[in-house]
Structure 1
Amino acid sequence: MLHHVAKHFQHHDPKLHAYVEKVEKIGKITLTSSHDFFASLCSDIIGQQLSGKAADAIYGRFEKLFPKNTPTAQRILKLSDEKLQSVGISGAKTRSLQDLATHVVQKKVDLSKFPDMTDDEIKTTLIRVKGIGPWTAEMFLMFSLAREDVFSFGDLGLKKAIQRVYGLKNHPTEKQMLALSKKWQPYRTYAARILWKVLDT
């Protein structure tokens, strides 16, 4: 983790900072952006409500439907529902992938503009796509665009980690999460990455 980010947590939230060294023994927390936004969004859709292992397995089979294992919007629209579902993608996710592809082809979602758009602009654009809600948009901002100040208030893993770190009897309320997240700004993505890793310690 970048030194100035760790110092921010040390100053503003010592309880969270106490976990930084522990979680970085598992793996360094760094933010890197994707080189293929379309493939990343396909992966995010496929991975909804699945374990990482299951999502990776299905996405691996999905990639093989494309030349050079590179998903494209044009190719998705040429594939039948049956072909997409044959690799383990549900009917709902098939429709979501097709809707994403349609939006991209029609330039209603212009991925080339994303690096210059704000987080809120990107979220607003993405949730117009069938099957993409706030959580999927937030994961894309964090993991594919490497935005530093994103937090997913609806993520169950983050709620569990906050409960553990702060010694709460129950999952935190939205009010509690908002209050905590203000301490982490402008590095809420790093806070989320720490909290997810807490569950692995």
Structure 2
Amino acid sequence: MHQLSEAMFANAVTELITRDPDLARIHAIYGPPPFFAREPGFATLVLMILEQQVSLASARATYDKVVALLGEMTPERLLQLDDEQLLGAGVSRQKRRYSRILAEAVLSGTLPLATLHERTDEEAHQALTALTGIGPWTADVYLLMCLRRPDIWPGGDLALQAAIQALKGLEKRPTAAETLPFAEAWRPWRAVAARLLWHHYLSGG
């Protein structure tokens, strides 16, 4: 499937700031956005589960404690840890359950992570969200950052919602559904527009 390269990313940024004056303003004030990306695989998905509803720094601290117990984040090793060990690392009961469901799905082949890049956006999204604990936001961000799909839109992301509110002068933060009309204008580069908006948010805009 189509994967966003850094060269494509730069070209897409140029196209978007030509088309949308609000995105152009981000670029003019804060410069080019970083090419936010992550390594695909089990370890990143575990980290994304830990990131749900907490700060990135808190999730990373918990993740690092778990890795310190394991040596390496693999499905096999994660399943060897008991509740007491995971709780000691700061993993909540719900996230322990989600992480174990993920590990078992990867080991059984129910979630074919190694070949997920061969699937369409919709197929890959469905494969991820079929697992308890992986909702639309986690699946969207995995496709956007790990599989580097160019037209993924994680409308449920609170930072993107806040950035749209600020840029478009909205009275309140839009819901995921309310971000869609704005994002439509950024096809086929919605994932690039998302990076511009994250850049705005993280830069204090």
**TM-score normalized by structure 2?**
0.88
Deviating 4+ runs (over 3 angstroms) = 173-176
Partner residue in 1 for 2:81: 79
Q: Report the equivalent of 1:17.
A: 24
Map 1:1-201 → 2, pairs under 5 A: 2-24=9-31, 28-34=33-39, 36-67=40-71, 70-172=72-174, 176-199=178-201, 200-201=203-204
Contact 2:13–2:192 at 8 Å: present in 1 too? no
State how far apart, in whole Å, the 2-side matches of 1:80 and 1:136 are.
25
Alpha-carbon deviation of 1:105?
Answer: 0.8
Structure 1: tracts of 5 or more residues without a match: none
Whether the 8 Å CA contact 2:50–2:59 is kept in 1: the answer is yes
* 1:13 aligned partner, one-letter code: D
Contact conserved, 1:29 with 1:190, CA < 8 A, in 2? Answer: no
Q: Structure 1 residues 162, 109: CA separation in 2 closer, same or farther (over 3 Å shift)?
A: same
Aligned residues: 196
One-letter amino acid of the structure 2 residue matched with residue 20 of structure 1: H
SS in structure 1 of the partner of residue 114 of structure 2: helix
Q: CA deviation at 1:186?
A: 1.3
Give, in whole Å, the separation in 2 of the partners of 1:78 and 1:125. Answer: 25
SS state at 2:185 partner: helix
| 3-state SS of 1:94 partner | helix
| Contact 2:35 2:195 (8 Å CA) reproduced | no
Q: Which moved more, 1:164-173 or 1:53-62?
A: 164-173
Q: 1:82 is aligned with what amino acid? A: E
Kept in 1, the 8 Å contact 2:160–2:194? The answer is yes
Gaps of 5+ in 2: 1-5
Q: Which deviations, in whole Å up to 9, do the C-alpha atoms of 1:13-42 show, x marking residues without a partner?
A: 1211211233337xx4215451x5110001
Listed one character per residue, the Cα deviations across residues 114-134 of structure 1 (whole Å, up to 9, x for unaligned) are 111112111111112221100
What percent of counterpart residues are identical? Answer: 33
* Structure 1 stretch displaced more, 15-24 or 45-54: 15-24
The change in CA–CA distance for 1:18 and 1:55 in structure 2 (over 3 A counts) is: same
Contact kept in structure 1, 2:17 and 2:27, CA below 8 Å:
no
